[in-house]
Amino acid sequence: MYLVENDQGRMSYSLTDLEAGKTFWTVDSEVMRSAERLVREVHGTLTVQTILQDIRHEKEYLPSGNIVCNSSSSKLQADTLRSRFEVDKLTIHESSRRLDLSWGLISDRPKWLALNEVRESLVSRGTRYAQVITSLNNDLRQYGINMELYVPLNGVDCENRIGYSGAKSMNSLYFMPKTPITSFFANLAEGDDVEMCSLLVFANIFQNVPARINDYTKQAIERHIRRIDLNSGSEMLKYKDDFIAAMVESEIRIFDSSAWSQRVYWGDDSLLF
């Protein structure tokens, strides 16, 4: 069940109820998470919105409509939501460290490419690079990096992006549209299996560089690519010059409502890079 708040108060919704409503919001911030924990401990009609109105006067700034308050309370709940819904709008509130996500039913033309689904498809079909892809994914997990990456394909709206190249929510990273690194990934996504494998390799490098060296210079990225090259061969890295150019040109800033610093980091919240 999902805990939903709207103008009528607080209530429980099933996935079917959410589908009937077609759209909803999630609000990702430390204040929201703290208020949600308090509401669960207090008996009565207290809501997250009334708490925020009292302590931050933010009720008028919260999105109108249904707000799902426990979307990330478990991986199962988050995955179930994403099986039916997709993000169609991201709004960053930098001063209050808050990310609002608007969700709608998945359409015939998905708005996002989920890289974990690409990986699962290539591995399940036994493509010749399946072992390399699995190995790279295991390498990330060794560093506590278990993010799901989403590349925008079409129809995604962003507000107040203010220089960010991505935003983190529900253990996922959503790339912002129309940045050099996003365009690079989206172009590879239109290709064949080799290019899709290349996409996963470069996505691995994107995550692994800050985890290891916190350096987005051309020389630093090349050093990491040479390490990958020993395992995967040149065919999957034939676009490495384009990747390096996109990385250097992009200002890699990831918005994370749970971090005091908005520098890039992955995995454990205690690891800031």
Ranges of each domain in the chain: 2-105, 112-256
Q: What is the model's pLDDT at position 272?
A: 35
Of residues 217 and 190, more confidently modeled:
190
User: Widest CA span of the chain, in angstroms?
Assistant: 62
Between CA 148 and CA 168, with CA 123 as vertex, the angle to 5 degrees is 5
The tally of CA atoms less than 13 A away on the side-chain side of residue 244 is 15
Edge-to-edge strands, sheet with 98-105: 9-13, 2-6, 67-68, 23-29, 98-105, 85-93, 157-159
- CA–CA gap between residue 120 and residue 180 (Å, rounded): 26
Q: What is the pLDDT of residues 21-43, one digit of tens each?
A: 999 999 998 888 888 888 888 77
134-173 pLDDT, tens digit per residue, is: 887 887 777 667 789 999 998 899 987 788 889 999 889 9
| Residue 212 pLDDT level (bands cut at 50, 70, 90) | very low
Q: What is the mean pLDDT of the chain?
A: 82
pTM of the model: 0.86
Query: What's the pLDDT at 225?
Result: 80
171 contact partners, CB below 8 Å, separation of at least 6: 72, 75, 78, 146, 147, 148
Is the distance from CB of 192 to CB of 257 less than 8 angstroms?
no
* C-alpha 49: how far from chain center: 25
What is the per-residue pLDDT for 229?
58
pLDDT mean over 220-248: 79
Contact 149, 203 (CB under 8 A): yes
